[in-house]
Amino acid sequence: MSSVPERSEVDEEYTWDLESIYATDDDWESAYEAVAERVDDLETYEGRVTDDAETLLAVLELRDEIMREVSTVAAYARMRRDEDTTNQEYQALTARSQSLASNAQSAASFIDPEIQELTREEFESMVEAEPDLETYDHYVDDVLRMKPHTRSAEVEALLADLGEVMGATGEVYTMLSNADMEFPTVEDPEGEAVEITQSNFTNLLKRPDREFRQRVYEGYFDEWESVRNAVAASYKNSVKADVKTARARNYDTAREAALDGPNVPVEVYDTLVDTVHDNLDKLHHHAELKERALGVDDLQMWDLYMPLTGDEGPDLEYDQATEYVVDALAPLGEEYQSRVEEGLDSQWVDVYENEGKQSGAYSGGTYDTQPFILLNYQRDISSMYTLAHELGHSMHSELTKDEQPFIYSNYEIFVAEVASTVNEALLTNHLLETVDDPEFRKHVLNEFLERVRSTLYRQTLFAEFEHETHRLEEAGEPLTADRLDEVYRGLKEDYYEPAVIDDRIATEWMRIPHFYRAFYVYQYSTGISAALAIVDDVLERGQPAAEDYLEFLRRGSREYPLELLRIAGVDMSSSEPIDRALETYGQRLEEFESLLE
């Protein structure tokens, strides 16, 4: 039987080094208690934040020190939990750290409303009196910008206190989908029992045997059907929380509230959706090519993840994948490349799936730690791309920490997804230029096409779903499971017109964890568009373009996202980068079609 190993069975070389944060859980406990005691120190500044320049600097520096420590405490607990989401001890540590973070946010919630009593001119006078305040210039600009949506100190404290509760639906969903749900075991063509998991589901849908794929698909979605009402209730209440929070902050819609945080106009969202809709013919062409390549009369949803090559693709061991990734990053310079290599040798990455491990992948860590990458490596080309993706995030964090103070280290997701996808695009270019094996090259080309399909198109579909579900809630319409199915099915029918849209795929919204972080996913689509434009520039202009890009990474969040991307030569206020990305996708589709002929 093909089974997932226990955590203890995974070679330590392929696990992340969380002991570099705290050597023992007792050390974590000491750090937790120490910072919990410091949180109360913030209260001594309430009501006098802007008394003078020295006081303003003191409270901002104290808050930053506390938040740095809280973030490290919380990151350790969460990553320990993610090693095995069934571990009750680390569930408890995570819950405690989340409460601590909520308490810290609540304790500091008076700061922004008091700063908003200043004018810009008054702040500039304070900078003259205390030059170290210059560090906070962009931060204060952002705080003043948000004044119409910031409530009184009392209300801000209440909203901060409620933050943990308002986000509870996402935590419930995480525990349900990763710890409690038990997916079936199916028999493969060789008669071997294969356990379906959250991490291997899409990989199993790349198996050549069509009947096996159908069994996997149906078994997986039938398990979701068993928790249908619970997930619908969870998502409905997550949407309600978004809408009520937006209204509490004087926004007309939850989408406007979400995009205003990073100062991204809603027109950017609409431009993305409109541009993608204008190019759905390319996605339809991809689906038709897949139908031809697989030799089937109708493209079913269990066929969708199958490569155009018609098979699973070559096995790719992790060590070989890391070599390809490091080599691919050469256009960004020797320093960037060697730093990635050093990180891979320093246990940045938790490589393989184990029982209870959090599904998917992410880049974590904090301002005071090394990066940490959670993978569920499946020994295939797709997993190699995921590694490249998460290393992009990690290097963004590293370069930001080199140049920026803590206040600007948490860059917005809008720009974060650029860094990750630049690495993917560089990997594609490197492999197509250097690997001679024609079958391997076909799989790389297919991977590029699938990445655009699953990132630019799929995430825009998700973005439309989020927009519509929040619009329905704002209009007072009930978000029942049936209504959510109806919305999702309609979008699937638009995007995948040549394929068969069945009842199970209408429920796919249930398996998307990102929906519990509303209006997040569209940034994958804008990110890949910007990234492909940047890589084109780097490959064409060489070092000057690479240096522009690295400067963009080093800036962290010291400027607003659209301004930061202009440093790298990309204007996301227009459709031009999206059009360029879709044009490249269309060209690569034609290239692959010629291979089929």
d(CA 339, CA 348): 12
| Contact assessment for residue 358 and residue 374, using Cβ atoms and an 8 Å cutoff | yes
Nearest-angstrom CA–CA distance, 580 and 477 = 38
CA distance 334 to 342: 12
Structure tokens at 31: 């750090």
Q: Residues 448, 453, 454, 460: is their CA dihedral positive or negative?
A: positive
pLDDT value, residue 311:
75
CA 532 to chain CA centroid, Å, is 18
Catalytically active residues are: 390
Sorted by where each starts, the structural domains of the chain and their CATH numbers stand as 7-166 (1.20.140.70)
pLDDT of residue 162: 77
The confidence score (pLDDT) of residue 2 equals 54
pLDDT, position 1: 46
Residue 495, burial from CB neighbour count under 10 angstroms (0-12, 13-18, 19+) = buried
The token pair at 402 is 């080199």
pLDDT at 198: 86
The span from the CA of 294 to the CA of 207, in Å, is: 12
| Average pLDDT per block of 10 residues along the chain, 597 residues long | 83 96 98 97 96 98 98 98 95 96 93 94 97 97 93 80 79 86 93 90 92 97 94 95 94 96 96 97 96 94 92 88 98 97 96 93 96 95 94 97 96 91 95 90 91 95 98 96 98 96 97 93 95 95 97 97 97 96 94 82
pTM of this prediction? 0.85
Q: Record the tokens describing residue 206, joined without a space.
A: 């790349």
First CA to last CA distance, the chain: 39
Q: Which 3-state string (H, E, C) describes 301-341?
A: HHHCCCCCCCCCCCCCCHHHHHHHHHHHCHHHCHHHHHHHH
Cβ contacts of 36 within 8 Å, gap of 6 or more: 100, 103
